[in-house]
Amino acid sequence: MEQITPELVRRLLPRRSPEGHKGTFGKVYVLGGAVGYTGAPVYAGEAAVRTGSGLVFVGVPAEVYPIVASRCEAAMAHPIPSGFQDLLQRLQACDAALIGPGLGREAETEQTVLSLLEGLAKPAVLDADGINAVSRHIHVLTKRLHPTVVTPHEEEFRRLGGDLSRGREQGAAEFVRQHRCTLVLKGPGTIVAAPDGRLWRNPTGNSGMAKGGSGDVLAGMVLSLIGQGADPVDASLCAVWLHGRAGDLCKRDLTEYAMTPGCLIGRLPAVFRELGVED
């Protein structure tokens, strides 16, 4: 197993053309939100913006749209279209889609997620309730023809059928072998597993990040980098390290007790500056 290093991240990050415009740097879609879970799509969308996306759309149920829209500074929120084909077309018009942050577990929602995964011909990131929907229909993940990144914590991983009895590394390797996806197995020493069996462990991050919303930030970062043209594995490696390093800066400045998911987003500029990506 390899370790994710700053040098690797610096090399893998998508380069930004000085002549680019907002269409050059990726158009991505976040599908999430429900009553009681309005923060998740906001964190994901704003993290995607902070990670470099040119255009970020956030689709949420109509009943929570005013709340989400009022909290999005740069991501563009809108009510989810009532017709499935309209929704699919919106996702299809983007470079990548994130499905699941705070989306809820209703039967109708689950069916929408499954239908989107079957019909969407673009890379997808599955987090939270996107994972929950697939966990009961794992064949949809296995059969998907387009790149998929799955970002579970250990409980969600078990729900997907993952086996941790022989350790996180073995469990991650076996899962991607079976389901041909990229896996980000969150937790201390987050593991990124590629479909070809390669494994990496992340050295950054701390327990202050163990708060609701931190995973939404990470998912938005993975989405952003895929939308900018990064290979899904490369995007996952970069996002995991950057996310953890932002957490380490928050620990230094705010303590593990007082840091919040929003603070992670706020520290991303310092992390990019520290990497020297514009030097």
What global pTM score does this model have? 0.98
> CA–CA separation, 223 vs 1, rounded Å?
24
Mean pLDDT of 207-232: 98
Alpha-helical (H) ranges within the chain are 6-12, 39-50, 65-71, 84-92, 107-119, 129-135, 138-143, 154-159, 168-179, 214-227, 232-258, 261-275
Report whether pLDDT(218) > 90.
yes
Report whether pLDDT(40) > 80.
yes
Q: Give the bridge partners for 27, in sequence order.
A: 55
> CA–CA separation, 102 vs 54, rounded Å?
23
Residues 6+ apart with CB under 8 A from 33: 40, 41, 58, 60, 61, 64, 68, 101, 102, 103
Contact 113, 130 (CB under 8 A): yes
pLDDT at 278: 75
Compute the half-sphere exposure of residue 38: CA atoms within 13 Å on the CB side of its CA: 17
* DSSP state, residue 28: E
pLDDT at 279: 61
pLDDT band, very low/low/confident/very high, at 21 (cuts 50, 70, 90): very high
Element (H, E) at 33: none
Mean pLDDT of 66-93: 97
Copy the structure tokens of residue 88. 């699919």
- Written as one string, the DSSP assignment of 136-189 is T-HHHHHH--S-EEE---HHHHHHTT---TT-HHHHHHHHHHHH-SEEEE-STT
Q: How many C-beta neighbours within 10 Å does residue 165 have?
A: 6
Mean pLDDT of 14-23: 92
- Domains annotated for the chain, with CATH where assigned, are 21-270 (3.40.1190.20)
> CA–CA separation, 218 vs 98, rounded Å?
11
Which tens digit of pLDDT belongs to each residue from 107-160?
A: 999 999 999 999 999 999 999 999 999 999 999 999 999 999 999 999 999 999
Contact 88, 120 (CB under 8 A): yes
Contact 236, 182 (CB under 8 A): yes
pLDDT at 127: 98
